[in-house]
Structure 1
């Protein structure tokens, strides 16, 4: 039973029910789980670059790779991503949706100073780089629709929540007068739930009265929802790397991360039965999270022989300061003997807090087949259960939510492998990556899988690369929870196809 409850907790994303309810385990995972980014060259080999070096992308993964630069470089990488979804409600009623976005996955410059072969020095070169890398693209949209029993509707959930929170007519009326702050208060204000006063002794009308929460009766309910999101998570890296005897390469960097995430949900329930008073409801909520963070990274690459490179890098946790702003409104329509329309909103929310995302550790090896190309492989360790929320005032208001994060998520290994074939000035690339499921207990497969390919042209003073990245993963969502755990479950197949190209110049 405990395992099942943890699964349900990982599936359910509740609407806002208070001023701090936005900060939950779903948010922690969203900003901790990152895609591989970088130039078209690196994305063409599925991000397997920990041991490679000499690419602008190394700033965000292993700064020791800067030590392999022999000339200064500037590169710019624009791209377009096409995100598609296929969602089904309780395993049926599949709907598709899509969104497209133009973005900049990578941008940067590296200044290199290398000593001539005639100079006697163990430290052969050093390079300083500044680069922008897109860590996450939040552009997405999915929709679903289908019938549900009235005992599994949002209205039923509102009533159960009111009972669980021991709501009374007096405090619900007080909330209505002072400003609505909870979802059950919004349901009460729009007449979807109410309070009956009945005798404590059914056969004695003169006995003291007790209050009982009731929900508005519904008939055949059809529910639908569209959830759309946009925004991105980007990182500016300032890094330095050096070469010791062209055998050992060391590097360190400071990462300054920015994020913006916006999500809007429009949820509807429509009663197809004209005999009931209830006709429909619409719940709309929208929130925006903005903020910035900082992390440190150190790395090393060893070249025991010319054909082999071995790389290791460690990134500290990223320390974020975030701000949430959100609004929620609900409208309801009634017919029958008491027709009416009601439309009210919660008091807008604005909350600042801190988030610490987990540390990351990477290891990789690359084998070079002379002038013909290379094969590179990486493994990355991330403990998603290590993410933590913290309040700005030093209080302990997030202890329960941090326990949920710890109990819901686990550590995973992310694998990346890719290769490049060289012929004269031409390059041909391919790669595959598998990012592990971060959930501890789940019957759903939520691995992320990537298939990549790319081509390039490398000349003396400039280069051009093109890459195609196909990413696939499954997600699971419930719009609300029920006490019997029979809330609707929406499963979505997510596919993103990205096309990007890099233009670079050496100087």
Structure 2
């Protein structure tokens, strides 16, 4: 295994150093239906119900519904089916994984003073995965736009002596120095120049204009995308029941991010006049972060059967650190002969910590409980993604990204429906959900639709639940944020089989 040099990039303004964009903000701001099998079987429509560990994650007042101390643990098998379209070529990819994604316990303390209106006090601790980043797909197609435009976009306007190495420098030394002094953009231009993709108009240090050694025409491109990781949170919950009708609760949440992404583009051409006929460009990104949020919730029994719930989710305040590695390899065919140029700096770029504020959310819920026979439930949530914000706010790059967030994103509504029917020890469940796109232009990310079916069996103090749920969404994925911005359209179907064991303590 090759040894990687670690480069701390920590000078100049943030705008010269990093390449975070609005897609990063969205990735860490979204959450998904995770949780216990019973919770997933009702498509997460639990805001007015409670009595489930994952319902506490949705509405902190839900823990006060428990009459006895309780615990649960959930295991799921996720299957991802992606159909990818790229310039009229279609490919398909499937991936599966097994995951322990939920665990928690609640402790109920009944008030023995019958004269007090406060009937019980509850505390709980729970772990929930809030978003799954595992995904992979690849796109094949013939394009008239080359990867050279990515490197040209970064190089134009930069001095040649700021994107090239000195005669006594190695690739690693030059890449590291350029990164620490000038930043990410200059590093991209350096990779393009040293791999012979770019050529200066004038071979002088002060040159700032460049042209491509890849001739116009058609380009065969294969793009591979592999991502792993998740968002998760650990919640401390406290709740209370008042007068057998009102339930109040609060969650204090510690969030964490772990995201690992690998992308690779292989481009070939046989265009007349091309000195560079093949390009392999690889990028790795590792993101880790932590954050804090809180939730306030209430459930009110309008009648013995009809319940209403309300939850406020605060924004989540994240602190995030990113690491990248890059390499580019080209096949060059010129008058002096053919050769391979392999530009592999073997350096890990560690970027300065930045902050992200994800948007808050409000949820209103209604549920009707048919005694011990079953229930119907509905949740409505609203989250304004235009309120996402990179910080520090006085950084010029983040100012532009925050303005773009305000112009591109909107408030998105989510609707969830669920029902349960009980027959003896068996419970039969189903649900449906609809989530609007967070983009004003829904061609970037489409609306999400999903359904769920579940079965439960109550052994008395122990309950076993099994659920199948599936969701579909179409996403247009630009290959790069500049230059080669052509998008691969991914029709994604995510299917889950979840098994939960819940028991009273």
TM-score normalised by L of structure 2:
0.88
Distance 1:443 1:474, change over 3 A: closer
Deviations 1:401-460 (A, max 9, x none): 111111111111111111001111100000011111100134456111111110001232
- Preserved contact between residue 154 and residue 480 of structure 1 (Cα < 8 Å): no
- Specify which of 86, 92, 95 is matched with residue 96 of structure 1: 92
Q: Does 1:87 align with 2:92?
A: no
CA distance in 2: counterparts of 1:275 and 1:171, whole angstroms: 28
Q: Which one of 308, 311, 321 corresponds to residue 310 of structure 1?
A: 308
- Alpha-carbon contact 2:429-2:454 (below 8 Å) kept: yes
CA distance in 2 between partners of 1:492 and 1:395 (Å): 34
Q: Which moved more, 1:126-135 or 1:439-448?
A: 439-448
CA RMSD of aligned residues (A): 2.3
Pairing of 1:106-145 with structure 2 (within 5 A): 106-115=102-111, 119-145=114-140
Match of 2:338 in 1: 339
Whether contact under 8 Å (1:80, 1:499) holds in the other structure is yes
- Taking the aligned partners of 2:107 and 2:208, their CA distance within structure 1 comes to 73
- How far apart, CA to CA, are the structure 2 residues paired with 1:312 and 1:409? 25
Counterpart check, 1:57 vs 2:57:
no
Report the CA distance between 1:120 and its aligned residue: 2.9
Match of 1:325 in 2: 323
CA contact (8 A) 1:301 1:311 kept: yes
Residue 252 of structure 1 corresponds to 250
Distance 1:217 1:502 in 2: 56
Question: Matches of 1:113 and 1:52 in 2, distance apart?
Answer: 20
**Whole-angstrom CA distance in 2 between matches of 1:227 and 1:435:** 25
Within 2, Cα distance between the matches of 1:67 and 1:263?
40
SS at match of 1:66: helix
**1:146-165 CA-partner distances (Å, limit 9, x unpaired):** 1112xx111134224422xx
Equivalent residue of 2:480, what SS?
A: coil
Partner of 2:260: 262
Matched, 1:37 2:23: no
Compute the displacement of 1:242 (Å).
Answer: 0.9
Superposed CA deviations along residues 295-314 of structure 1, whole A, max 9, x for unmatched, are: 11111100021101100010
Distance 1:129 1:79, change over 3 A: same
- 1:242/1:316 Cα in 2 relative to 1: closer, same or farther (>3 Å)? same
Please say if residues 100 and 139 of structure 1, whose CA atoms lie closer than 8 Å, have aligned partners that are also in contact: no
Q: Given that residues 32 and 358 in structure 1 are in contact (C-alpha distance below 8 angstroms), is that contact kept between their aligned partners in structure 2? A: yes
Q: Partners of 2:164 and 2:403 in 1: how far apart?
A: 34
State yes or no: 1:28 paired with 2:25: yes
SS at match of 1:182: helix
Aligned to 2:164: 173
Inter-CA distance 404–423: structure 2 relative to 1 (3 Å threshold): same
Q: How does 1:202-241 map to 2 (within 5 A)?
A: 212-218=209-215, 220-241=218-239
Matched, 1:191 2:190: no
Instruction: Sort the Cα spacing of 1:277 and 1:398 in 2 relative to 1 into closer, same or farther, 3 A.
Output: closer
- 1:148 matched to 2:143? The reply is yes
CA–CA distance in 1 between the matches of 2:366 and 2:408?
Answer: 32
Alpha-carbon deviation of 1:94?
A: 0.6
Structure 1 portions without partners, runs of 5+: 1-16, 199-208
Aligned with 1:286 (options 267, 284, 290): 284
For the residue of structure 1 that corresponds to 2:438, the secondary structure is coil
Which residue does the alignment assign to 2:366? 365
Structure-2 residue corresponding to 1:202: none
CA distance in 2 between counterparts of 1:212 and 1:28 reads 33
> Which stretch shows the higher mean deviation, 255-264 or 275-284?
275-284
Sort the Cα spacing of 1:211 and 1:284 in 2 relative to 1 into closer, same or farther, 3 A: closer
SS at match of 2:291: strand
CA contact (8 A) 1:73 1:505 kept: yes
Q: After alignment, is 133-142 or 457-466 more displaced?
A: 457-466
Q: Deviations over 1:363-409 (max 9, x none)?
A: 100001222200000011101111111149x7565211111111111
Which whole-Å CA distance do the structure 2 matches of 1:224 and 1:415 have between them? 38
Measured after TM superposition, the shift of residue 487 of structure 1 is 4.5
1:139 positional shift: 0.5
Q: Distance in 1 between matches of 2:452 and 2:365?
A: 18
**Farther-moved stretch of structure 1 (463-472 vs 179-188):** 179-188
Deviation at 1:59, TM superposition (A): 2.4
Alignment partners' CA distance in 1, 2:295 and 2:27 = 21
Whole-Å separation in 2 of the counterparts to 1:416 and 1:437: 15
Please give the secondary structure, in 2, of the residue aligned with 1:339: strand
Alpha-carbon contact 1:391-1:397 (below 8 Å) kept: no
Aligned to 1:3: none
Following TM superposition, by how much is the alpha carbon of 1:44 offset from its aligned partner in structure 2, in angstroms? 0.3
Q: Secondary structure at the match of 2:25?
A: helix
